[in-house]
Structure 1
């Protein structure tokens, strides 16, 4: 049995979408909310013959990956997050690039020689790789209107991936992926009345209107921290709201926090768009934290460490 393991955000879903549009394959799907990245351990080593892993940190899945390779299971791994030590094995085909201006879908696009480039552009927009997405779109002579449509699509698919659990989401990421397989051309989806695109668009704008009224915990020259309510809508917009704030003030780092039931905070951190480095290192210094240079997060920041976290962000970018 083949297993497709992928992050439930726009980048993970669309990376797999491109691969399976190009090479359809029966597979067991393993995914979850965006922050659920320790996914390789869910692969059944007794039935797996091969695995594709997309947009999940190799560093966070190191033990499970080593076990799969030791069981002679072929693994195709594409990602742009912190990788740690990449195992040396003839069973592993790894495409890893941690450059702050790329994402997994762009790496898959390169691997497929641009076969589904419009989808890759949508994914890059969704992962807030706006400059990279725009540059690629211009290579293919897409109009500003077409770029805007792909940007919206990527943002809405990405928005759907955020939540404490899949119960917070509008669509389970596996179901969303399977529905998107019907659209080799993303513009067919965008222009279809009453489509998934239209439904996510309406929900996104409703949630973002609530987010705009949220409490500002701290605002300094180099950092802004915003607290969202402990409600499903807030958990859904925690990442995309951070992206919007980052685009509005590209010289400032932005932290969007939501309170957990144990009074800790889930944190979504965006590095300044004009200085896309350090977010992963900052978050990794705190319990349950990690990510990549441009965008990272902490699953459960203890309340007593909130001030320390904001100070660390401000110090790093000053």
Structure 2
């Protein structure tokens, strides 16, 4: 049995979409909300014959990866997050690049020699790699109208991945992947007013309108921290709202806190777009923290550590 293990955000979904459009394969899908990254432990080594892993940190999954390699199960691992020490094994094939200008879908795009480049560009936009995505679009001669649609699509699919559980989401990431697998190109989605593109667009606009009233916890020249209430809509926008703030103020770092029911906070951090580094270094200092240089987060920051986090955050980008 083959397993496809992938992050439930735009990058993970669209990376797998490119692979399966190019290489159709019956597989068991393992995914979840964007922050559910310890996914590899759900693979059953007794049933697995091969595994593809996309857009989840190897560092966070190493304890589940090693038993698969020990059983001589081939693993293809593509990612752009912190990897830690990559095991040496003839059964592990990796494409890992932690550059702040790369996402998993762009790595898959290179692997497939650009066969499904429109999906890769949408994913780059979804991962808020605005400059990178625009460079690819311009190099390929895409119209400004199509480029804008790809940007929106990436943002909406990414938005769909945020939530405390899949019940917060509009589409389960596996179901969204399977729906998109019907399209070799995203262009038909833009032509159909009833497509999931327009369904997600309406939901995104509704939720982002609510986010405009976010409480400001801290705001100085180099960084800003805002807080959202404990609600399904706020959990859905926590990441894309951070991206939106970063795009509005590219020289400023941003952190979006979302209240949890247990008095902890989910935190999304965005490094300044003009200095895309440090987000992961900040977040890994706290329990349940992780991510990459340009964008990272903490799943459950205790209330007692909020001020400490803000201090570390502010000092890093000062």
Q: TM-score, normalised by structure 1?
A: 0.99
- The residue that corresponds to 1:127 in the other structure is 127
* Number of residue equivalences: 318
Equivalent-residue separation in structure 1 for 2:135 and 2:290 (angstroms):
28
Give the C-alpha shift of residue 243 in structure 1. 0.1
- The residue that corresponds to 2:265 in the other structure is 265
- The residue that corresponds to 1:170 in the other structure is 170
Equivalent-residue separation in structure 2 for 1:310 and 1:147 (angstroms):
36
Bigger shift: residues 10-19 or 214-223: 214-223
Equivalent-residue separation in structure 1 for 2:290 and 2:53 (angstroms):
18
- The residue that corresponds to 1:55 in the other structure is 55
- The residue that corresponds to 2:184 in the other structure is 184
Q: Is the 8 A contact 1:247 1:273 kept in 2?
A: yes
Report the secondary structure of 1:200's partner residue: helix
Equivalent-residue separation in structure 2 for 1:7 and 1:179 (angstroms):
16
Q: TM-score, normalised by structure 2?
A: 0.99
Equivalent-residue separation in structure 1 for 2:26 and 2:180 (angstroms):
16
Q: Is the 8 A contact 1:153 1:190 kept in 2?
A: no
Give CA-to-partner distance per residue, 1:169-225, whole Å, 9 cap, x none: 000000000000011111111221210000000000000000011111110111111
Equivalent-residue separation in structure 2 for 1:161 and 1:190 (angstroms):
20
Equivalent-residue separation in structure 2 for 1:192 and 1:91 (angstroms):
43
Equivalent-residue separation in structure 2 for 1:305 and 1:221 (angstroms):
23
Give CA-to-partner distance per residue, 1:278-300, whole Å, 9 cap, x none: 00010000111011000000011
- The residue that corresponds to 2:69 in the other structure is 69
Give the C-alpha shift of residue 139 in structure 1. 1.1
- The residue that corresponds to 2:2 in the other structure is 2
Equivalent-residue separation in structure 2 for 1:191 and 1:207 (angstroms):
24
Equivalent-residue separation in structure 2 for 1:194 and 1:40 (angstroms):
35
Report 1:226-241 matches (<5 A).
226-241=226-241
Equivalent-residue separation in structure 2 for 1:253 and 1:191 (angstroms):
37
RMSD: 0.5
Give CA-to-partner distance per residue, 1:246-277, whole Å, 9 cap, x none: 00001111001111111010000000000000
Report the secondary structure of 1:234's partner residue: helix
- The residue that corresponds to 2:247 in the other structure is 247
- The residue that corresponds to 2:158 in the other structure is 158
Equivalent-residue separation in structure 1 for 2:71 and 2:261 (angstroms):
39
Are positions 1:115 and 2:115 aligned together? Answer: yes
Which structure 2 segments of 5+ residues have no match? none
